[in-house]
Amino acid sequence: MKKFISILLILVMVLGVAGCNVKTKDDVKNNTQDTATSGDSSVKPVDIQILSMSSNEKDVNIVRDQLAKAGFNVKLNIQPDYGSFTGQKEAGNYDIAISGWTTVTGNPDYAVRSIFTTGGDYNDYGLSNPELDKLVEEAASETPEQYKETYKEFEKVLVEDNAYIIPLYSSLKSQAINKDVLKADSVRLSKSRSLPWEEIDFVDQSKRTSSPFIMSQTMSSLTSMDPIKGNDGSINIINTNMHVRLVNLTDDDEVTSKGSLSYNYVIEEGNQEYYFILRDNVKFAKVVDKKAVDTGELVAAEDVVFSMNRAKDKNSVPDHRTYSLHSSMDKIEIITDLASLEGFKESGKETSVKSALEAGLPSEIKELVADKKDVNNAAGKYQVVKVTTTHPFPQVLNYLAHQSAGIVSKKQVEAINTYDVAKYDKNKDIAYGDQSTVTEGATYNNTLTVSGPYIMLYKNDYEVVFEKNPGYMARTEHEPRINRVEVKFIKDLDSSLSALRSGEIHLLYSVPEDKYPLVEGDSKLTLQKRPSNAVSYAFFNLLGNSEFSDENLRKAVLNAIDQDQILAVYNNLKIKAYSTISTLVDTGNVHKADPAKAKEYIQKYWDSKK
């Protein structure tokens, strides 16, 4: 999320954000706790500083105790929120940090590329290993049947051989619903995909236009409404609901065209060319006088090409957060030669690409057009976009379902982003999607033009408010049911749960495990839960002269951490994990603690210093 791996975690929806100006170790004495002593006098102790957010206090305490028993002198650097955590990480005030990652695209490449490859957009802690880089690329070109062994070897290099990360556990995904207000079966809980709002409905459907659907989140500072610049718990649900994509994910992580900009998608033989035939019932919305307005402009192929090209270009915007997800795309183009689609076969089948694209359309394809003004699906005039990848890479479809692949308006983004990216000054340049432009007050100038089911009207210190896009799939099953959505900013999770129980909010996303009994005991509420793609782990500071660049120290930490003890503290409502791909690929790798080995590695470290 780094923003870093931990912040990317869709679980970080439960964290608050505040500023942090701390940049040196001396500046953080008030937030740093000294645990004073090692638990083992048989080995010379090694100092270790653990960085974490206060929301992970339970994990920190368990890890601290286990490391102390192994022979470490443990100091805790506990920060109240993501902003201060990030400031401390950037200042290098840690040896190891408690973190996490949620694979919101449902594919294993996402679980490794950004955080473990050299130069990955969330690898800002110094990890660089050519063997890991090679294995990531090798697995990316393979089918699920093939990549299991490759990812198994990747995990071995990452964890067993080098102890670059310390796996802790994977989590359940959960949400609590006021079933007296919302139809529980209209509220989806997907393994990866963020909560879609358009399907949510009231028990009393007469309230659709008169009452808002209300939920909460702890993070009140929103990274960016530009989908390629925001990829963390403050914005993932929001951007997912403001930008339509070429494809979506089902609740079980299967790629689907349902509810997306495309009627169908087709993979050409060879797994390197991907075709998408676009709908003509999705139009951009804008805000006028704090109301959602249909611009009448079709979300079309030229917007798709523009959006995908900027998504894969690291230099298209300052502070690009998601470019590595889309680096596999080589060429994005509009196809107008209908006859050519007859000559290409669908991957693994005898049907042509044209036939596959045509399945279930409102009418047969008579013409492919480039200009959005010429689109008329009822008359057989369609648009087709083709994505060609740099190499065979079926997982590209999962990335195209990610919120960062949301379609933006070419016309509007180019009109707003007139600054020189290389000379961008955040203090004076206004970028498309900046939080300041939607915040009530002197800076308010809402220039959003969105393609998704909802558009943000405004935000303030207490809430962010949305209205349905009147031009989004009107009169279809995908038209948003509820007219208005309000997201309340409630930093304290106990307060959020109280708000749910009192009826102030209708849904609480990401319920802590220790609150499950309280929710289940309330007759007004229903609890949804399922295994998620969220994995908690710890990573080391490998930059500069960090002592933990020493493999022996990292392996000492790895062998000191006992997952069984961690799961026991959580009443076995957590699940064992080996790496960030544990929830996606069953490699068979299992982490086992070995306290004796932990002490041996500490001694090896000291011996190397002689």
DSSP string across 127-172: ---HHHHHHHHHHHTS-HHHHHHHHHHHHIIIIIIT--EEEEEEEE
Task: Kindly state which CATH superfamily the domain 182-468 is placed in.
Answer: Dipeptide-binding Protein; Domain 1 (3.90.76.10)
* Residue-level pLDDT at 104: 86
Does the model's pTM come out above 0.85? no
Interacting residues of 389 by C-beta distance below 8 A, sequence separation 6+: 272, 273, 274, 328, 329, 330, 396
Give the whole-angstrom CA distance, residue 375 versus residue 373.
6
For the chain, give the mean pLDDT.
91
Give the whole-angstrom CA distance, residue 510 versus residue 506.
13
Instruction: State pLDDT tens for residues 123-149.
Output: 999 999 999 999 999 998 888 888 999
* Residue-level pLDDT at 321: 83
CATH number of the 5-171+532-608 domain: 3.10.105
The residues of the chain that CATH labels 3.90.76.10 are 182-468
- 106-115: average pLDDT: 92
pLDDT band at residue 12, thresholds of 50, 70 and 90?
very low
pLDDT of 372 strictly over 70: yes
**How many residues would you count in the chain?**
610
Q: Which of 3-17, 35-49, 101-115, 337-351 has the lowest mean pLDDT?
A: 3-17
- Percent of the chain exceeding pLDDT 90 equals 82
- 165-173: average pLDDT: 96
Residue 100 DSSP class: E
The residues of the chain that CATH labels 3.10.105 are 5-171+532-608
| 63 close to 29: Cβ distance less than 8 angstroms | no
Pairing status of strand 46-53 against strand 96-102:
parallel
